[in-house]
Amino acid sequence: MAGLVLKHIYKVYSGRNTQKKRSIKALVNKITKKQEQKPAVEKRSGKFVAVKDFNMEIEDGEFIVFVGPSGCGKSTTIRMIAGLEDITGGELYIDGVLVNDIAPKERDIAMVFQSYALYPHMTAQQNIEFALKLRKLPVEKKDKDGNPVLAIDKKKIKELKQKLLNVQYDLEDAQDEETKALLSERKAAIEKDIEYYSNTPVQAYVYRHMKKEDIAAKVQWAAKVLGIEELLDNKPAEMSGGQRQRIALGRAMVRGPKVFLLDEPLSNLDAKLRASMRMEIVKLHNELKTTFIYVTHDQVEAMTMGTRIVVMKLGVVQQIDTPTNLYDYPDNKFVAGFIGTPQMNFMDVKIKKSGSKLKTEFEGGQVVNFDLSKLRKIDQSLLDGGEHEVTLGIRGENIKIAAAEAKSGSYLDTTLSVKEILGGTTQLFIKLSEGGAEYIVSLSERNDYMSGDTVRLTFDEKYIHLFDKETELSLMGRETGN
């Protein structure tokens, strides 16, 4: 079990396949080739910042979800944590240890992917125990008197030299000063490590296979927790998608990792199975109490599973918070729109403080005077008595049919376009003006409105959001009352 710290983590892709292991020969070839070419040809515009300044502290045992649209850098971040992807800049700590230059297999991390990647010719049992059988565990080397044996760690130095080569390569490709600075810093850190390990004998290890009975006990334990004891003799082809994903989880579990990384593990399953597997994974986390990091682009998955959620967009973290806080207090319009279905309504409004009221003019000219004491705290600069154009956000379920006695200035008259009866809720698609934008209202009670009818609506003030039109940042605090 372990906590993680991500400090100013960057990933810059240079436009070349960084996964390929680079050799000195390749580097020499490249330099020779470069000298032969005209400089113009060498100019590349392949630089791509996939993750920008990611900062987070993850407590031991948390269930963290990374969520965001396709291409926002979720997989890249999780792969950097696993060590499958080099970190361009910043520092990654696992259990307080800087792991930037520690090989993936030494990070004590298990990763589960979308594709289960089970061996088809092996039974479930064989799939689960496969890695354990291959694995050799380090045992501290002692001399005959039981004293620790120290030696220069040549393997470590070799790994670091490979890293150094990769960084040198990236440095050559780097297009801009910022990336160059990040990589130079990394280069210096690795050189320092090489120097240290070259001159400092460290504890030597011997590597031993795990005992057969220990492996069997681990497989039995995982099978019991996952409820797959009956399946152990089956091959993947004889199993359902959910069962296969359970085997993949078992394979990760038996390694007893400090951290579980799961990259969209359920996206190959149908909706019903996904919902049940979702709960299984949450239960598994409750049982193991290990740190989990789970990647998804499905906000429902994120809301139901995470103790905290990281919302990302274009490589930049938008907000890190609990599911309810993200829902209730989004820091910006993107988070507000991304979390929750149906999506939050966004309306262009003009606001002006008038005594104890916030005079709010909507598209089409209707005005509602909201009670300032009932609204969440508003950025003081907006309450200077002048008129300000902002974006008002309100979720469909926080809009209600106005009471018959509602006073003028407390409601909006809207026109119903379409009504959808979903059973438990009824959704009204309404407009504030002819040809204007369509907004959605989610009602828990049924009604007799028909298309074209006027529907008189009020907003629940506590759930009104205001966003800056330019920066899209929230203009409100979390507590109510102005």
Ligand X SMILES: Nc1ncnc2c1ncn2[C@@H]1O[C@H](COP(=O)(O)OP(=O)(O)OP(=O)(O)O)[C@@H](O)[C@H]1O
10 binds ligand X (CB under 6 A): no
Query: Measured between alpha carbons, how far is 6 from 318 in angstroms, rounded to an integer?
Result: 15
User: What minimum distance in Å lies between the beta carbon of 128 and ligand X?
Assistant: 26
Distances (CA, A) of 22 to 43, 111, 184: 21, 24, 18
Among residues 48, 148, 276, 387, which is the contact residue for ligand X, using CB under 6 A? 48
Residue 236 interacting partner from ligand X, Mg ion, none (CB closer than 5 to 8 Å by kind): none
* Residues 6 or more apart in contact with residue 194 via CB below 8 angstroms: 157, 160, 161, 164
**Which stretch in 71-79, 152-160, 198-206, 284-292 sits in contact with ligand X by CB under 6 A?**
71-79
72 binds ligand X (CB under 6 A): yes
**Which stretch in 70-78, 130-138, 328-336, 452-460 sits in contact with Mg ion by CB under 5 A?**
70-78
What is the size of the binding site for Mg ion (CB under 5 A)?
1
Residue 142's SS3 state is strand
DSSP line for 449-473: --TT-EEEEEE-GGG-EEE-TTT-B
* Residues 6 or more apart in contact with residue 369 via CB below 8 angstroms: 354, 357, 358, 359, 360, 409, 410
User: What minimum distance in Å lies between the beta carbon of 93 and ligand X?
Assistant: 21
Q: Are 410 and 457 in contact (CB under 8 A)?
A: no
User: What minimum distance in Å lies between the beta carbon of 72 and ligand X?
Assistant: 4
Residue 72 interacting partner from Mg ion, ligand X, none (CB closer than 5 to 8 Å by kind): ligand X
Tokens of 239: 């199993």
**Which stretch in 69-77, 346-354, 377-385, 443-451 sits in contact with ligand X by CB under 6 A?**
69-77
Q: Which residue is nearest to Mg ion (CB)?
A: 75
Residue 258 interacting partner from ligand X, Mg ion, none (CB closer than 5 to 8 Å by kind): none
Q: Find the binding residues for ligand X in span 276-315 (CB under 6 A).
A: 297
75 binds Mg ion (CB under 5 A): yes
77 binds Mg ion (CB under 5 A): no
Per-residue b or e along 243-279, where b marks 16 or more CB atoms closer than 10 Å to that residue's CB: bbbbbbbbbbbbbebbbbbbbbbbebbeeebbeebbe
Half-sphere exposure of 196 (CA within 13 A, CB side): 9
User: What minimum distance in Å lies between the beta carbon of 301 and Mg ion?
Assistant: 13
Query: Measured between alpha carbons, how far is 252 from 258 in angstroms, rounded to an integer?
Result: 11
In 3D, which of 439, 421, 437 has the Cα closest to residue 429?
Answer: 439
50 binds ligand X (CB under 6 A): yes
CB-wise, 75 or 474, nearer to Mg ion?
Answer: 75
User: Rule CB under 5 A: which residues touch Mg ion?
Assistant: 75
Q: Kindly list the residues in this chain that would bind ligand X in the complex (CB under 6 A).
A: 13, 18, 48, 50, 68, 70-76, 297
